[in-house]
Amino acid sequence: MRKVCVVITARPSYSRIKGAMLAIKNSPDMELQIVVAASAMLNRYGDAYKQIEDDGFTINRKIFSIVEGENPVAMVKTTGLGMIELVTAFEDLKPDVVVTIADRYETIATAIAASYSNIPLAHIQGGEVTGNIDEKVRHAITKLSDLHLVASELAAERVIKMGENPKNVFVTGCPSIDLAKKAIMPELDFDPLERYGGSGEKRFAPEDYYIVIQHPVTDERGLARKQVTETLEAMYELGKPTYWIWPNPDSGSDETSKGIRMFREKYKPQNIWFFRDIPSRDFLKLLYHSNGIVGNSSVAIRECSYLGVPAINVGSRQSGRDRAENVTDVDYNKQQILDAIALRKTLPRVQSTLYGDGNAGVRIAEVLRTAELTYSKKLMY
C-alpha cells in the first residue's frame, strides 16, 4: 500500500487539496498521512487543523513552526523551522510520496525537506505565473518535484519548458474547483454572522452583498496599510453589505491589519462585517451568492472563474496569473475599484473551466496511486 503524505501549512492549502485527500482516503491502495504545520495550526488564522478534523480526517503530525513578526525575517525563520520539523515527521512516518501545495513560503520547506530526504515529491498547482515572490517559490518547488499535478494546459507547458520530463506532468485541474462545484446551490443555507460571529457595527442579512479579501504583497509591504485603506474607502463609500476576511500571515500582514483596525475605529462602518476566517465549505457558498469579490486573493481568479462570480482584482499580487472573463483588474485606487464594481453590474456572469471541471481530486489521487516514483526509500531509511 502506497503511503501518501499531504502537508498543509495554511488555510488556503486545505481547500486546494481536500478533494484529493478524500479520494486518497477512499482508495484501498493508498494510506493517507496528514501533516499540519505553520499558520494552519493557529487560531488567529482560522484553526485550519480543526476544519480538517471536523471533516473526518486523522492528522498524523501537528507542527508549530510559525515565527511571529509578519516580516521577511520571520518568513525566513518560519521556513527554516519548518524544514527542521518536517524532516523529523517524514522520518517517523516514512511516506512513499509527499504532496505539497501551491506557492507559499512555508510550502518550500516541505519541498526541501522531502527532496533532501530522497522522498518523491508531488507538487499541486505548479507552472503558474503571478509576478511576485510566490512565483519564485512556485518555480523553485517545481524544480524540486518529481510529479507535477497542474491546473491547466498552459501551466503544463510552462513546467515542461522549465526542463521537467513531460511524462511526469499531469493536467488534473485545480482541486479547489471540486469544492466550488459543490457550492453551486439555489439558495444560501446559513447566515454567516450567526454561524461565525465576526465583528462589526451593525448586523445585516446575507443579501445584496460583496466579499473582500486583501492580503499584503511581500515586496510592497511598506505600502500595505495605504493599499488596504483604498479598498476600505471604496467599500465604505459603496455602502453595500460587505463581508471582509482577515489577511494571510505574510510579510506586511501587520500593516494590513493595522490599516483595517484604524479605519474601523475611525469610521465605524455600518456596512462592513469582519471575519477571522470562514471555512471553505461555507465560504464558497457565500461567494457564489455574492455580488462579487474585491481584493487580491487567488480565489477570485480560480474558484470565481468556475462559479462565474465577478472579481475586482486589486493591485499586483495576481499579476500574470491566467484569467477568465470574470476578472477586472484595477490599481490600489478607490475610484477605480468603484468604477469596476459599477461596470461588472452591467455584465452577465460567465462560468469558465479554465482551472478545471470539478473532478481534479480523483485525477490527482489516481496519479499518486499509479505513477512511477523515482527515488528509492533505501536512500533514506
DSSP conformational letter for 113: H
The CATH superfamily of 2-174+357-379 is: Glycogen Phosphorylase B; (3.40.50.2000)
- Which pLDDT value is given to residue 205? 87
Picking from 196, 365, 366, the residue whose alpha carbon sits closest to that of residue 277 is 196
- Which pLDDT value is given to residue 43? 75
Instruction: State how far the Cα of 209 lies from the Cα of 205, in Å rounded to an integer.
Output: 9
- Which pLDDT value is given to residue 198? 94
Average pLDDT per consecutive 10 residues, the chain (381 residues; last block may be shorter)? 95 86 95 94 80 95 87 89 97 97 90 97 94 86 97 96 97 94 94 95 92 92 94 98 90 90 97 93 96 96 97 94 95 98 96 95 96 59 39
**Cell numbers of 276, please?**
477571522
What is the CA 122 to chain-centroid distance, rounded?
Answer: 17
Q: Do domains 2-174+357-379 and 182-345 have the same CATH topology?
A: yes
- Which pLDDT value is given to residue 377? 42
- The pTM of this model reads 0.87
For cell 498524523, name the residue. 60
- Which pLDDT value is given to residue 221? 83
Listed in sequence order, the residues at least 6 apart from 83 whose beta carbon sits closer than 8 Å to its beta carbon are 109, 112, 113
- Which pLDDT value is given to residue 379? 40
For cell 480538517, name the residue. 52
Name the amino acid, one letter, at 50: K
Where are the chain's structural domains?
A: 2-174+357-379, 182-345
- Which pLDDT value is given to residue 367? 97
Contact predicate 276/247, CB 8 Å: no
**Considering all CA atoms of the chain, what is the largest pairwise distance in Å, rounded to the nearest integer?**
63
For cell 470562514, name the residue. 278
* 310-316 contacts at long range (C-beta below 8 A, 24 or more positions apart): 310/344, 310/345, 310/347, 310/349, 312/337, 312/340, 312/341, 312/344, 314/214, 314/227, 314/230, 314/231, 315/217, 315/220, 315/227, 316/131, 316/132, 316/217, 316/220
**Cell numbers of 152, please?**
491547466
Q: Would you tell me which CATH number, out of the four given (3.30.1050.10, 3.40.50.2000, 2.40.30.110, 3.40.1160.10), belongs to the domain 182-345?
A: 3.40.50.2000
- Which pLDDT value is given to residue 378? 37
- Which pLDDT value is given to residue 32? 98
